[in-house]
């Protein structure tokens, strides 16, 4: 398939739980979480050019291209690998900004993975993940592409396959600043670590949830509504929440009943992200040519 016709998935994730177990001297928080990959997200198209220019054709309102993680990821890979090519990038945005479902981090990871292939840089997954960590703590999990248990600052990953579930992911239409939440004095920072094999939804929490609900009543109200219908929790630092559904029909029914000014989507959990699935298909197709 011609590269200008290819759209690379940039999937969402959920934090099925999020425990903050400490804070390092450099200010980064130590945490434990279970990153659940979803089959829904943004998508990116890369038109490879002979010159070294990096262009984002579809800018995000309010975000300067120079600050966009997509552009920063492309330039970081270019500088690290010595690639002489450039690209024109198009983004089809479906995930909300500041939603806690990894939109920006996933965009960066897709950029690294796709351009590593398209520019033929030859970097392995570990090298790409280390580059991604320079852009954000959540980028490595999207580079690896597995539903995984995370520790450290989010960069130490252990694949942790989960039984397939459907999720309603809902957002009250507001953005939550991750920096403000992690810098807030009332954020719990001393939750006892768990063994990842002992994970159960019922015995875990999101340590950011109470604080975000206090600061943003819209999140609290939506969570209260979801809990009437299914086990539910906030993901990341919000503002998105998720409900664990028995099947797709239950999730679709909840989506149709969302309160006013709220929006959302239905997604299926997957143990390998759509990005890695596509990379495997592209590689296999190239090998048969």
Residue 100's CATH number:
3.30.230.10
pLDDT value of position 155: 79
pLDDT value of position 285: 83
Q: Are residues 135 and 20 both part of a single domain? A: yes
Q: Are residues 136 and 172 both part of a single domain? A: no
User: Can you give the residue range of the structural domain that contains 195?
Assistant: 166-270
Rounded to 5, what percent of the chain is helix, strand, coil?
35, 30, 35
Q: Are residues 142 and 212 both part of a single domain? A: no
CA–CA distance, 189 with 175 (Å, rounded to integer)? 23
Q: Would you tell me how many other CB atoms lie within 10 Å of the CB of residue 99?
A: 24
Q: Are residues 253 and 282 both part of a single domain? A: no
Q: Are residues 62 and 134 both part of a single domain? A: yes
**Dihedral sign for Cα atoms in the order 124, 130, 132, 138:** positive
| Contact residues for 257 (Cβ-Cβ < 8 A; gap 6+) | none
Number of domains within the chain = 2
Q: Are residues 111 and 14 both part of a single domain? A: yes
Determine how β-strand 148-151 pairs with β-strand 156-159. Answer: antiparallel
Instruction: Look at residues 154, 204, 199, 157 and name the one whose alpha carbon lies nearest to residue 24.
Output: 154
pLDDT value of position 4: 59
Q: What is the pTM for the complete model shown? A: 0.93
Residues assigned a catalytic role: 13, 138
pLDDT value of position 1: 47
Determine how β-strand 54-56 pairs with β-strand 86-92. Answer: parallel
Q: What is the pLDDT of residues 164-192, one digit of tens each?
A: 999 999 999 999 998 899 999 999 999 99
- The vertex-67 CA angle with 154 and 212, nearest 5°, equals 50
Q: Are residues 75 and 99 both part of a single domain? A: yes
Positions in the chain whose pLDDT score sits under 70 = 1-4, 288-289
């Amino acid at each position: 398939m011609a590269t200008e016709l290819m759209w690379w998935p940039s999937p969402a994730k959920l934090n099925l739980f999020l425990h903050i177990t400490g804070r390092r001297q450099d200010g980064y928080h130590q945490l434990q979480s279970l990153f659940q990959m979803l089959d829904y997200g943004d998508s990116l198209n890369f038109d490879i050019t002979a010159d070294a220019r990096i262009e984002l054709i579809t800018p995000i309102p309010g975000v300067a291209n120079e600050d966009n993680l997509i552009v920063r990821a492309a330039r970081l890979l270019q500088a690290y690998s010595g690639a002489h090519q450039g690209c024109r990038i198009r983004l089809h945005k479906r995930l909300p900004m500041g939603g806690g479902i990894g939109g920006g981090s996933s965009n960066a990871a897709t950029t690294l993975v796709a351009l590593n292939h398209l520019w033929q840089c030859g970097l392995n997954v570990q090298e790409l993940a280390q580059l991604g960590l320079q852009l954000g703590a959540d980028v490595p999990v999207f580079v690896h592409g597995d539903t995984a248990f995370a520790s450290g600052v989010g960069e130490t990953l252990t694949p942790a396959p989960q039984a397939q579930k459907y999720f309603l992911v809902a957002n009250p239409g507001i953005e939550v600043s991750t920096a403000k939440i992690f810098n807030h004095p009332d954020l719990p920072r001393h939750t006892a670590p768990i063994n990842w094999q002992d994970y159960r939804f019922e015995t875990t929490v999101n340590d950011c949830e109470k604080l975000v609900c206090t600061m943003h009543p819209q999140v609290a109200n939506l969570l209260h509504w979801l809990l009437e219908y299914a086990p539910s929790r906030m993901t990341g630092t919000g503002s998105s929440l998720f409900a664990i559904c028995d099947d797709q029909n239950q999730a679709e029914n909840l989506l149709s009943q969302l309160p006013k000014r709220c929006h959302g989507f239905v997604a299926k959990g997957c143990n390998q992200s759509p990005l890695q699935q596509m990379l495997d298909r592209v590689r296999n197709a190239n090998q048969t040519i």
